[in-house]
Amino acid sequence: MNGFALKGHVCYSKSAGELCTYADHYAVCIDGKSVGVFAALPQEYAQAEIIDCGDRLILPGLIDLHIHAPQYAYRGLGMDLELMDWLEQQAFPEEIKYQDLGYAECAYSMFAEQMKRSATTRACIFATKHRAATEILMQLMEETGLISYVGKVNMDRGAPGALCEESAGASAAETITWIKNAVEKFQRTKPILTPRFVPCCTDELMERLQKIQVTYGVPVQSHLSENHGEISLVHELRPQNGFYGEVYNDFGLFGKSRATEESVKTVMAHCVWSSEKEVELMKKNGVFVAHCPASNMNLSSGIAPIKSYLKHGLRVGLGSDVAGGQSESIFRAMTDAIQVSKLYWRLVDQGIQPVTFSEAFYMATKGGGEFFGKVGSFEEGYAFDAIVLDDACIPHPQKLTVRQRLERAAYLALDQKGVWKKYVDGMQVF
Site for ligand GUN contains 197 (CB under 6 A) = yes
The pattern of x and - marking residues 281 through 300 that bind ligand GUN according to CB under 6 A reads: --------------x-----
Q: Please identify, among the stretches 40-48, 280-288, 313-321, 408-416, the one whose residues bind Fe ion according to the rule CB under 5 A.
A: 313-321
Query: What mask, x for binding ligand GUN by CB under 6 A, covers residues 352 to 391?
Result: ----------------------------------------
How big, in percent rounded to 5, are the helix, strand and coil portions of the chain?
Answer: 45, 25, 35
88 Cβ contact list (under 8 Å, min separation 6) = none
Number of residues that this document lists for the chain = 430
Which SS3 state, helix, strand or coil, does residue 261 take?
Answer: coil
Name which of 142 and 321 has its Cβ closer to Fe ion: 321
Residue 226 interacts with Fe ion (CB under 5 A): yes or no: no
CB of 96 to ligand GUN, least distance (A): 13
Q: Decide whether 165 or 226 has the Cβ nearer to Fe ion.
A: 226
223 binds ligand GUN (CB under 6 A): yes
3-state secondary structure of 228: helix
Query: In the bound complex, what is the minimum distance in angstroms from residue 238's beta carbon to Fe ion?
Result: 20
Q: Does 152 bind ligand GUN (CB under 6 A)?
A: no
Contact with ligand GUN (CB under 6 A) among 7, 9, 56, 68:
68
Binding range to Fe ion, per CB under 5 A, among 6-14, 55-63, 113-121, 314-322 = 314-322
Q: How far is the CB of 9 from Fe ion (least distance, A)?
A: 34
Q: How many residues bind Fe ion (CB under 5 A)?
A: 2
Taking the C-alpha atoms of residue 46 and residue 319, their distance in angstroms, rounded to an integer, is 39
CA nearest 260: which of 294, 307, 220, 210? 210
Residue 23: half-sphere exposure toward Cβ, Cα within 13 Å: 8
Binding ligand GUN by CB under 6 A: which of 87, 279, 318, 375?
A: 87
Q: Name the one range near ligand GUN by CB under 6 A: 83-91, 335-343, 387-395, 416-424.
A: 83-91
In whole angstroms, the minimum distance from the beta carbon of 59 to Fe ion comes to 25
Helix (H/G/I), strand (E/B), else coil: 241: coil
Using CB under 5 A, which residues numbered 246 to 285 contact Fe ion? 269
Q: Is residue 370 within 8 Å of 376, Cβ to Cβ?
A: yes
Of 226, 278, 370, 407, the residue at the interface with ligand GUN (CB under 6 A) is 226
Helix locations, 288-394, DSSP H: 293-298, 306-312, 330-343, 357-362, 368-369
Which residue in 96, 101, 145 sits closest to 123, CA to CA? 145
Choose, by CB under 6 A, the member of 29, 35, 91, 338 that binds ligand GUN.
91
Of 68 and 75, the one with the shorter C-beta distance to ligand GUN is 68
Cα separation, 40 vs 62, in Å, equals: 26
CB closer to Fe ion out of 150 and 409: 150
* Omega within 30 of 0 (cis) for the link into 269: no
Residue 226 contact, options Fe ion, ligand GUN, none, Cβ 5-8 Å cut-off depending on partner type: ligand GUN
Number of residues that bind ligand GUN (CB under 6 A): 11
Q: Toward ligand GUN, which CB reaches closer, 58 or 220?
A: 220
- Closest approach, Cβ 321 to Fe ion, in A, equals 4
Task: List the beta bridge partners of residue 148.
Answer: 123, 189
91 binds, among ligand GUN, Fe ion, none (CB under 5 to 8 A by kind): ligand GUN
Beta strand pairing status for 33-38 and 18-30? antiparallel
Ordered DSSP codes for 15-50: ETTEEEEEEEEEEEEETTEEEEEESS--GGGTTSEE
Check binding of 321 to ligand GUN (CB under 6 A). yes
Q: Which of 95, 165, 321, 328 binds Fe ion (CB under 5 A)?
A: 321
Nearer to Fe ion by Cβ, of 223 and 405: the residue is 223
Contact 363, 309 (CB under 8 A): no
283, 314 Cβ separation under 8 angstroms: yes
Closest residue to ligand GUN, judged by C-beta, is 324
Q: Alpha-carbon distance 360 to 329, whole Å?
A: 13
Burial class (CB in 10 A: 0-12, 13-18, 19+), 117: middle
Q: List interacting residues with ligand GUN (CB under 6 A).
A: 68, 83, 87, 91, 196-197, 223, 226, 295, 321, 324
Q: List interacting residues with Fe ion (CB under 5 A).
A: 269, 321
